[in-house]
Amino acid sequence: MAEEKKLALNLSRESVESAYAAEADRPPAPSSTRVKFEIFGEEMIEKRVKASGNSGRVYLPPDWVGHKVKIIRID
């Protein structure tokens, strides 16, 4: 019984190590690859970011002040 547990443990360790090796052999994904996000929320506004000094700015409705928002760059 103890030998069976050791064998199972060794097999799972080998499979994990081979999975890491396969991951290391894969070339890195290009940085321009788009990803899909699924977000649940209350409202959505699509706007362009305007230049503002050394950064960018997006104006949002005043009733959004104090609320948590998430910004996703889409292009």
pLDDT digits (tens, 9 = 90+) for 46-63: 999 999 999 999 999 999
CA 68 vs CA 47, 54, 72: distances in Å:
17, 24, 14
The verdict on residue 34 lying in a domain is: yes
The verdict on residue 73 lying in a domain is: no
Instruction: Place 9 in a pLDDT band, splitting at 50, 70 and 90.
Output: very low
State the Cα–Cα distance between residues 44 and 75, nearest whole angstrom: 17
List, in order, residues 6 or more apart from 53 with CB less than 8 Å away. none
Q: What is the pTM of this model?
A: 0.49
The verdict on residue 70 lying in a domain is: no
The verdict on residue 71 lying in a domain is: no
What does the DSSP assignment read for 2-69?
HHHHHHHHHHHHHHHHHHHHHHHHSPPPPTT---------S-----PPEEETTEEE----GGGTTS--
The verdict on residue 36 lying in a domain is: yes
The verdict on residue 17 lying in a domain is: yes
The verdict on residue 75 lying in a domain is: no
The verdict on residue 74 lying in a domain is: no
The total number of structural domains that make up the chain:
1
| Full residue range of the structural domain in which residue 55 is found | 2-64
